Structures are given as C-alpha cells and as structure tokens.
Amino acid sequence: MPIKTKVKFGQNFLINKEIAEKIVDSCNFTKDDNVVEIGPGEGVLTNLIVNKVKTLTIIEIDPFYLSYVEGKLYSNKKIADELKNKSNLKFINIDALKFDFTEYSKGIDSKIRLISNLPYEISSPIMEKFNKEKDAFKDFTLMFQKEFAGRLLAKSDESARSAFSVIVEANFETELLFDVFKENFYPMPKVDSSVMRMTPLDLNKFKDLKYSEDIKWAASSPYFSYLVHQLFKLRRKKLKNSIYASFQGIPPDVKAKMYEDSNIDLNKRPQSLTLEEFIKIAIKYRDYLGLE
C-alpha cells in the first residue's frame, strides 16, 4: 500500500510488481534510450527502468513522491552502486502539462521514449500536448482508463470512434498491449485500465506522396481538428442531415457536391468515416473557404 494514504493529484498507484515488469519488458529499453517517466508514484516502474537506459528523467508534480522515489532509489545498494559514477538520473518537480518536451529533446539531442501510468483526470489534456509536441518523441508507453484508451484506438465503424480517435490516427500509430484490472491499484479506481503503445506516424510509409502531404497537413491543422469535432457533435445524424446544421458559411447543396465529388456516402455517420475521408472533406471545405 502506498505510504501516503491521501493523494492530491488523482493518482492510482500500481501495486502489482508482475504487471510493472510486464509493462517495462514490453518497452525493450536499451542503453541508448533516453527515457522520461511521468508520475512515478512509489517508483514501481522506475526501479525496473533506471539501469536499463542511457538517461532517465522523472517528472512528478507531487514533491512528496518525487523525494520519496529519489530516496528509495539511492537507498537500494545495487542501484546506488551502479548510479555512483553516472549522471543519467534526473528528478524534476513540475506539472507534466507545463513541461517543454520539445526543448528537452533538443537539449539531449535525442528523441524521448516516454512511459507513464497517467492520472485519469489529465488524459485528454496530456494527449493534446503530446499531439503538439510529437516530434520530440520516439514512442509512448501509456496506461489510461480502459474506456479512454478504447477511444484513442477506435477505427472507422467502431462505436467508440470519436473526434479524438481521428486526431490521434492522423498523428500516431497505436497498439493495445494489454488490459489491467482495477484490483491492481491503490486506491482502487472504479474502472479497469489499458496499456497502449503510441508511435508518431511515419509518413514515409505511404507510397502516395500526396496523401502523405495531406495527412501532414491534417495532423498540424487547427482547422482539421475543428472540422472533425464539429462533425462529431452530430454523430447520431447521417451526413446528409448534418450538412444542414454544420458550417453555415457553406450552402448545403455545395456541401453535398463536395461529399459526392469525394466519393463519400452521405448516408454514413461521422464514426463510419475513415481518416482519408475526413481529410478529403476537410480539404474541400478548406479550399472553398480559402483557408490555409
């Protein structure tokens, strides 16, 4: 049981060491990796990572747990002896939402591998931050609330598909590693969790150069994000009905023609659209409105 019974920042601490080992093993860390861990709690993952990697930077908003993990590491003789002549371990007391990952990556001249059991309450804002700063990262191994992870992973025609799913798909390759039952945490949350891997999308894998450029635009465009969120506000409506309610600056008959020219079925609902279809219609709207 965690030594601090009252948590301040919505933490749920992983207490099953076998699951911790499974998470770290899935990362296949090497001595060339520069790793950042957000929210170490009592250091159940930290202990397993520290001597596997080139550098480990620990970001923790709660100064109590930051000091606790530092003391715990250096009181472990085996770990302390190996760290004695190294400067590969850093402790930073800051809210991860305020940390500049891009500048940090530049400072170490390397992409970051990130690992975290994230507090559920910051899942959405931290993902928005990762989207913006994704070029700083090699990959992410993250534990989220199972329902939230399902939204991130959902593809077209899946019921969990959301605006967030589409934005993530335009930025990352995603993979569900395994689920973790709520009984493996303290305090025990009300829901189960999922561990997932996210890797910034490699645009070189697309043979169609134009589509590659279109995805690059969508991933960085506030307009694309706005359009996707607008369409999902009317997720229960078929597109032929929602075109009357969204984007009032474009006449319905013009919008219908845009969908038709893009070979998009107006009988579909937003969650049934593929990423490619979202991008096609976003570009049509963008060009019509004269946006960048």
Count of structural domains within the chain:
2
Backbone dihedral angles phi then psi of residue 247, each to the nearest 5 degrees:
55, 70
Last residue of a domain, one of 156, 175, 201: 201
Q: Are residues 196 and 213 in the same domain?
A: no
Q: The CATH number of the domain where 250 resides is what? A: 1.10.8.100
Q: Are residues 258 and 124 in the same domain?
A: no
Q: Is the pTM of this model over 0.85?
A: yes
C-beta contacts of 99-103 below 8 A and 24+ residues apart: 99/59, 100/133, 101/36, 101/129, 101/133, 101/136, 101/137, 102/133, 102/135, 102/136
Extract the tokens encoding 32. 């060339």
Establish if 266 belongs to a structural domain: yes
Pair type for strands 137-145 and 112-117: parallel
- Percent over 70 (pLDDT), the chain: 95
Domain of residue 127 covers 13-201
Last residue of a domain, one of 171, 201, 231: 201
pLDDT at residue 60 in the model: 95
Helix (H, G, I), strand (E, B) or coil at 270: helix
Segment 191-250, tens digit of pLDDT: 999 999 999 999 888 777 788 899 999 999 999 999 999 899 988 889 988 888 777 788
